[in-house]
Structure 1
Amino acid sequence: MDGSDAAALFDPANWYREGQGPRYRQLHAYLTEAIRDGRLPVGSQLPPERDLAEFADVSRVTVRRAVSQLAMDGLIDQRRGSGSYVRPGAPRLEQSLSRLMSFTELMQARGMSSTSRILARGLFAPLPAETMALGLGTGEMVARVERLRSADGVPMALERSCLPPDVLPDPDAVEVSLYAVLRARGLAPTRAIQRVSAVNITPREAEIMALAEGTAALQIDRTAYLASGRPVEFTRGVYRSDIYDFVTELRLDS
């Protein structure tokens, strides 16, 4: 990439919006999008810090923070004395829609290390969708756990899980795997119904997942049931569509 191309790509008119958050965060989101869509192809080198600061009309500290976050996200390699290079993209993850499997179990099956950051948990008044899915009565509360799910340090999904309080009386017990907690209580679901929708992430979701606002994603609404037929979990998750593929097997009725 020559200087004129780099100047055009990193022109602040392309990525900075007044009132949309700190410059380093907006620059990070823009660079992430440029890597994802191929404008910064695999193996390409980012401009030196001083040049990138000049092209983007920001301080070198702003550039340093944005690029450091890219490295933490696993999108670039920072090589001492050489520069920063775009890494190969993460492999796409296939998750079967016909198998009830937690995020932690899926990542373990792929040989990846999963982590969860708790965003909120406790007992709350249910939202209408939660009331309907769980068959709650008037005045009942829900145990809710909202988590950012990551694999090998890369944010993958936002999940908000809601359960009746008698199924999950202590939401603080959930650290990594919700299903591990439910199994320990003998209340793990045995089947689920899922609905997959195409969505664009909200500004809040974009900030948490370090993606550009409005990025296309997959929304999964899952209602899970005990063997008795009682609904015990309603989870709404937003998954990165550039990494996730959800697959199912279809059979011809005989």
Structure 2
Amino acid sequence: MQGALPLDQLQKLGGGPLYVRLKKLIEQAMTEGKLKHGDALPAERDIADAAAISRVTVRKAIDSLVDQGLLVRRRGSGTFVVKQVPRMQQPLTRLTSFSEDMRRRGMSAGSRWLDRGLYHPTPEETMTLGLFGEARVARLLRLRTANDMPIALERTSLPDDILPDPDAIENSLYQALAVRNIRPVRANQRISAVLLQEDETELLGVPPGSAALRVQRIAYLETGRVMEVSTALYRSDAYDLVAELTIGN
């Protein structure tokens, strides 16, 4: 890390107060690729010792970068670099999967599986999915990525006759279902703003207390049967949801 941050040179740099110089030094290391997304900064006391400055000065520089969203503090783990992602507009007039949406943008969609399997349904899943008897529910929980950057946390539930083997899903759920001629034709979505929990911010790589867009979807087959229910938490620094409105006659 010393090579990425030449802290022993800080006192010789010009450009205002020491905390501003340190801030610029860290930003330059990010710009030059010496500090990459997910890299941990040295402890504040180590930075202070190496640069011969006070910990108050270090804390002020790091606080500024955290406020800008360039660094994130994780309790008990340290301070980490966060790569900024380009903002994306998500139209609300088309029913697409995450993989289709990323492919349309020329980005590579990926998944990090957190959980998947067949479970006994909750009362809410039983009612919403129209389950009965000994039917089980297929649950998918995954971190969705675009060009290897965390973008969304997605929780999906489907009837087990629609998805009998959750482990068979490699990346795109809709693509895997399409092979069996199962396709949603419409969906209802409810969108709200929420504050992320601590474990969710760590998975998405955003500062503690960050906001997210929660998109709850119920998708239907052509027969009118509910095919899936899902809740996705999208990074609010990456997504804008856009709807085109027209004036009625």
Aligned-partner Cα distance in 2 for 1:118–1:39: 26
Q: Distance in 2 between matches of 1:143 and 1:167?
A: 9
Match of 2:143 among 148, 154, 178: 148
For structure 2, the 5+ residue unaligned runs are: 1-15, 24-39, 44-58
Structure 1 residue 37, shift from structure 2 partner: 4.4
**Cα 1:182–1:35 shift into 2, 3 Å:** farther
Aligned equivalents of 2:145 and 2:63: distance in 1? 18
1:165 to 2:160 alignment: yes
Normalised by the size of structure 1, how large is the TM-score? Answer: 0.68
| Alignment of 1:3 onto 2:33 | no
Structure ID, larger Rg: 2
The equivalent residue for 1:38 is 68
CA contact (8 A) 1:33 1:212 kept: no
Distance 2:99 2:19 in 1: 45
- Tell me the number of residue pairs that the alignment of Structure 1 and Structure 2 aligns: 199
Query: Of 225, 234, 238, which residue of structure 1 is paired with 2:233?
Result: 238
Q: Within 1, Cα distance between the matches of 2:214 and 2:140?
A: 17
Q: What is the rounded CA distance, in whole Å, between the counterparts of 1:128 and 1:33 in structure 2? A: 45
Aligned-residue sequence identity (percent) comes to 45
| Distance in 1 separating the partners of 2:62 and 2:19 | 21
Give the Cα–Cα distance (whole angstroms) in 2 for the partners of residues 220 and 120 of structure 1: 20
1:163-206 Cα offsets, whole Å, 9 max, x none, are 00000000001121000011011111111100001101112212
Deviations 1:136-155 (A, max 9, x none): 23653210111100111210
Which residue pairs with 1:178 in the alignment? 173
What is the correspondence of 1:212-223 to structure 2 with a 5 Å cutoff?
212-223=207-218
- CA RMSD after TM alignment: 3.3
- The TM-score normalised by the length of structure 2 is 0.70
User: Which stretches in structure 1 are left out of the alignment for 5+ residues?
Assistant: 9-23, 41-45, 47-55, 57-61, 76-88
Distance 1:174 1:184, change over 3 A: same
